[in-house]
Amino acid sequence: MSGRTHTANRGIRFSAKELQDLAVAWLALGVAFMFFLNGDLATGLLAGDFPVAEAARSFGLSLATVGVGFLLHELAHKVVAIRFGQLAEFRADYSMLALAIAAGLAGFLFAAPGAVYHGGRPITKRQNGLIALAGPLTNVALVAVFLPFVFLFDGLLGTVGVLGVGINALLAGFNMIPFGPLDGRKVLTWSKPVFAGSFLLCGGLAAAVFVVLFG
């Protein structure tokens, strides 16, 4: 998701606060999806018999798939916003991250880690729409990156491929919903034809991937 503010740094640079927020969001999402993907970990934690080795494997898988998809989605917003002369910086939503971890422990999928806020000189609806569209299209590109792992590898790397494809397809489709602060609403505000095409691409990809991989 992307938003607006007037408190960001110039150029493709990262403040200490932004790096901290990115790291915390990445790690928190890793923890949340670690529990979501492996319900036995939550059971073991509550029973006082936490399987450390299994947790480390699930945590690493989450960081490499969910974490990478999230980070590159947000950085795509930042890069395009800067390309249009904006000041842009990521800010984590710590309350939503805590909720994501709680949801993961309970076996639910939820993630609203924060957003890239951008502002500065006035920009057009087209530019704002392109900034928003950069995130979901990055996730579509990551589906293509992870897809070969599904067919070329077994074991851990094959699992990375399946999760990478599934999570990034979900992120692309979900963020193109034209509601609230999601990217789809900004794209729709700019151009209905572009929204229709990108929504069909992202939503169709998400549906197809989950039917093939998880159906």
**Would you say residue 42 has pLDDT above 80?**
no
Poorest-confidence range of 128-137, 149-158, 174-183, 205-214? 205-214
Q: Which pLDDT score, from 0 to 100, does residue 7 have?
A: 40
Catalytic residue (one of 18, 54, 74, 89): 74
Q: What does the domain layout of the chain look like in residue ranges?
A: 2-210
**Would you say residue 19 has pLDDT above 80?**
yes
Average pLDDT (25-45) is 85
Count CB-CB contacts under 10 A for residue 90: 24
Q: Which pLDDT score, from 0 to 100, does residue 49 have?
A: 75
pLDDT one-digit tens code per residue, 87-103: 999 999 999 999 999 98
> Are residues 115 and 1 in contact, defined by beta-carbon separation less than 8 angstroms?
yes
**Would you say residue 22 has pLDDT above 60?**
yes
Q: Which pLDDT score, from 0 to 100, does residue 6 have?
A: 41
Catalytic, 54? Answer: no
